[in-house]
A and B are shown apart, each in its own frame.
Chain A
């Protein structure tokens, strides 16, 4: 069996996960051209080598990032999305 090391749940059978495709920089849908949007939707880098992808652990619905070598089939590293996307803290209502 092939093991995927989930950042939340630890090492699990890869059959518990689904690959949801390459991490792509999303253009601003309100500002980009139709061509840029179509490129974001449909075009793939499809690299032969280390790629960075969205994965989800299906039983727990936990999304994370995996870096994987598409030639050697080795999972290089896995980490929570926060490491890639530094979001500002959500504004909270005054109590």
Chain B
């Protein structure tokens, strides 16, 4: 192996390798059309092709591959949720993520860092112990820790008693990790394309055609396609697609902003979250501090970012790491998140037969990319949602069976 590498390094010819085929012409029909070429849509295509032998698939996106929320999240992977349904689901995703670079033959820069959810109140410590117990019960590694352990894990954290909201302890989740979010989309895209899936970028869906309550096809600005099944996986635009098919969703589209600092030498090992202080932070492999906070205060179909966001985020951040006051914010951006009332996703069937939905991912979608792809593929291939997805059915709102994950899914409540 090392000699092969040496030969390659000393050689002079490098043939460029095209990993993704150019967008082909649209065929008149496909077995499955997936609307949305983000991480979730591409993962679904990948698992449909790899595990179920379904390859006659078109993945359609109005923009470029992975250019939506897949490009805009802060790339945190964890399974330390509150409900058994949530923990089981995100736990499966974590396990899938661990093996993904090997499976792709493509480096997604998966880096296990440990995840600390800081508790600043007795109520927060109680929730930390609750989450730890549920996690452990389902085989996910988490524990409630005190200040000494927090100091050991994150020496630079401000643990002063004179802070506005002193740190009492934390929920520590050792498997918490970060990865390169774009690479996850590319890995799934390349794997799907190799198996015959077509990816159609810059193609806008303009309508969904139906026949007798069943989906019959998809209309695009490049032509119409007949198809057996459709999966919509378009995050913040979910309502717009659902409107085309005539059903309602419990979703509000709200921007979530994030920012990165200038690159710094390594100072922060774990991912740190503070619910009370509306901020979460990690340090990327490039040395940038990746920072996020609460969702925007009102809904908007736009990805504009604001000064108010960076001001309030950094004010809270400096409570935790005061020495960061001289560091510069380098870049900020936003995604359009599809928020649900219970902070859990909407997955599975819709009132329209053969139209499937993967939505309601709000501010918690990146970590679920592999399990979503795998289980939605299973749903589409078998025509039935597996047990692990049942709690997230759209109809749960009709029978008031919400899966409440607000505390575990988000910050700033």
CA distance A83 to B297 in the complex (A): 25
State the Cβ distance, A4 to closest chain B Cβ, in Å. 10
Q: Does A18 contact B (CB under 8 A)?
A: yes
State the Cβ distance, B403 to closest chain A Cβ, in Å. 13
**Assuming A42-B341, A43-B248, is B398 touching A70 (CB within 8 A)?**
no
State the Cβ distance, A24 to closest chain B Cβ, in Å. 12
Which chain A positions have C-beta within 8 A of B399?
38
Which chain A positions have C-beta within 8 A of B300?
70-71, 73
B304 touches A73 (CB 8 A): yes
> Which of chain A's residues 40-95 have a Cβ closer than 8 Å to chain B?
41-48, 51, 53, 68, 70-71, 73
CA distance A71 to B397 in the complex (A): 27
Interface size class of A (residues with CB under 8 A): 20 to 34
> A-B contact count, CB below 8 Å?
58
B253, B302, B398: the one contacting A46 at CB < 8 Å is B253
> Which of chain B's residues 233-279 have a Cβ closer than 8 Å to chain A?
239-240, 248-253
Q: Does A26 contact B (CB under 8 A)?
A: no
State the Cβ distance, A37 to closest chain B Cβ, in Å. 9
State the Cβ distance, B391 to closest chain A Cβ, in Å. 16
A46 touches B299 (CB 8 A): yes
CA distance A39 to B398 in the complex (A): 7
Which chain A positions have C-beta within 8 A of B298?
19, 53, 68
Which chain B positions have C-beta within 8 A of A68?
298
B249, B252, B308, B397: the one contacting A38 at CB < 8 Å is B397
A70 touches B253 (CB 8 A): yes
Which chain B positions have C-beta within 8 A of A70?
253, 299-301
Q: Does B4 contact A (CB under 8 A)?
A: no
Q: Does B22 contact A (CB under 8 A)?
A: no
**CB nearest neighbor in B for A39:** B248
Which chain B positions have C-beta within 8 A of A73?
300, 302, 304
**Assuming A38-B398, A38-B400, A43-B397, is B251 touching A71 (CB within 8 A)?**
no
**Assuming A38-B398, A71-B302, A73-B302, is B297 touching A44 (CB within 8 A)?**
no
**CB nearest neighbor in B for A47:** B239
**CB nearest neighbor in B for A53:** B298
**CB nearest neighbor in B for A20:** B298
**Assuming A44-B239, A46-B239, A46-B299, is B398 touching A35 (CB within 8 A)?**
yes
Which chain B positions have C-beta within 8 A of A53?
298
Contact with A along B295-313 (1 / 0, CB 8 A): 0011111101010100000
A18 touches B297 (CB 8 A): yes
Which chain A positions have C-beta within 8 A of B248?
39, 43-45
Which chain A positions have C-beta within 8 A of B239?
44-48
CA distance A56 to B251 in the complex (A): 21
State the Cβ distance, B143 to closest chain A Cβ, in Å. 35
Contact with A along B112-135 (1 / 0, CB 8 A): 000000000000000000000000
**CB nearest neighbor in B for A55:** B298
A43 touches B253 (CB 8 A): no
A48 touches B240 (CB 8 A): yes
CA distance A44 to B249 in the complex (A): 6
> Which of chain A's residues 1-49 have a Cβ closer than 8 Å to chain B?
1-2, 14-15, 18-19, 21, 34-35, 38-39, 41-48
> Which of chain B's residues 199-239 have a Cβ closer than 8 Å to chain A?
239
A42 touches B297 (CB 8 A): no
State the Cβ distance, A41 to closest chain B Cβ, in Å. 8
CA distance A56 to B240 in the complex (A): 28
CA distance A43 to B250 in the complex (A): 4
**Assuming A70-B301, A71-B301, is B308 touching A42 (CB within 8 A)?**
no
**CB nearest neighbor in A for B342:** A42
State the Cβ distance, A76 to closest chain B Cβ, in Å. 14
Which chain A positions have C-beta within 8 A of B301?
48, 70-71
State the Cβ distance, A45 to closest chain B Cβ, in Å. 8
Which chain A positions have C-beta within 8 A of B252?
21, 44, 46
State the Cβ distance, A32 to closest chain B Cβ, in Å. 13
Q: A42-B250, A44-B250, A45-B248 are in contact. List 6 more A-B contacts (CB 8 A).
A: A18-B297, A38-B399, A46-B252, A48-B301, A51-B299, A71-B300
Could you list some 15 contacts between A and B, CB below 8 A? A15-B308, A21-B252, A38-B397, A38-B400, A42-B341, A43-B249, A44-B249, A45-B248, A46-B252, A46-B299, A48-B239, A48-B240, A48-B253, A51-B299, A71-B300
Q: Which 10 A-B pairs have the closest CB atoms?
A: A19-B298, A46-B239, A42-B397, A42-B250, A43-B248, A48-B301, A38-B398, A71-B301, A70-B301, A44-B252
